[in-house]
Amino acid sequence: MTDRPVTGGLRVEARRAMAVAWKDLLAEGRARSNVLAVILFAGTALLLFAFAFGPDAQDLRDAGAGVIWLTILLSGILVFNRSYQLELEGGGLEALLTYPGSRRAIFVGKLLANLVIVLLVEAVVLPLAAILFHVPLLGALPGLAVIVALGTFGFVTLGTFYAAMSSRSRASDVLLPLLLFPMLVPLLLAAVQGTTAFMEGDAMGDGGGWIRMLVAFNLIFFSAALWAFEYVIGE
């Protein structure tokens, strides 16, 4: 009997989070130009990096992992900057905050919507990087898929949280990267090193250690962001 209210509360919060995510995805779906602009930016960034490293196949392959994550990072900033923009422009954020229930559902919903969009961008970035940088993506599965999934989740978690923190600032476009980039250093280190390890066959067994580091990072920062969001979004 005592578990029913808790279970019911979790189901209600899950539905609220899904409603927020669905609302954001519908808004982005209606304005397709925004997502297409992010994808076009990601593709252009990859091309510029490829030209910068020159025609040598080994140099391109060595830089592949770092370029992939740097492109995801720069593209994700564009996605996160829009997370709360529509609500702030239309005055909908205050109404969303006064809706009954925990504000944590708003964070989870925003996180899910941003995760879907970033994964769409990665669906273009990864195959294009494989072609431009001679990266053996298919041969690196499934370890590479685990690294990308964990790295993306941690990146989107922090990006969604800091977007909420900077959303009310007039200089939010500048403030967000300043807040976000230093916190991403451990995640990017683990993601790049893990990606490199699996692309090279992981002969030394280093990939498992980077995966464990990403899991620990995600657990710590997702829990912290979930707890702190209610205070951050209300300021």
Does position 50 have pLDDT exceeding 70, yes or no? yes
Average pLDDT over residues 189-217: 86
Burial per residue of 102-138, b for 16 or more beta-carbon CB atoms within 10 angstroms, e otherwise: bbbbbbbbbbbbbbbbbeebbebbbebbbebbebebe
Output 210-215 pairs: Cβ under 8 A, ≥24 positions apart: 210/147, 211/143, 211/146, 211/147, 211/150, 213/186, 214/147, 214/150, 214/151, 214/154, 214/187, 214/190, 215/150
The answer to whether residue 8 scores a pLDDT higher than 80 is no
Across the range 197-217, mean pLDDT stands at 84
How many structural domains are present in the chain? 1
Band of pLDDT at residue 34, cut at 50, 70 and 90: confident
Alpha carbon of residue 10 to chain centroid: 24
Q: What is the pLDDT of residue 56?
A: 79
Three-state DSSP at 89 gives helix
Q: The tokens 């969001």 sit on which residue?
A: 229
- Residue matched to tokens 């899950």: 14
Give the range among 52-61, 110-119, 146-155 with minimum mean pLDDT.
52-61
> What tokens were used for 14?
């899950």
Domain that holds residue 209: 3-233
Comparing 209 with 55, the larger pLDDT belongs to: 209
Decide if pLDDT at 3 tops 60. Answer: no
- Which tops the pLDDT comparison, 46 or 231? 46
Task: Quote the pLDDT of residue 4.
Answer: 43
% of the chain beyond a pLDDT of 90 = 41
Q: Is the pLDDT of residue 183 over 80?
A: yes
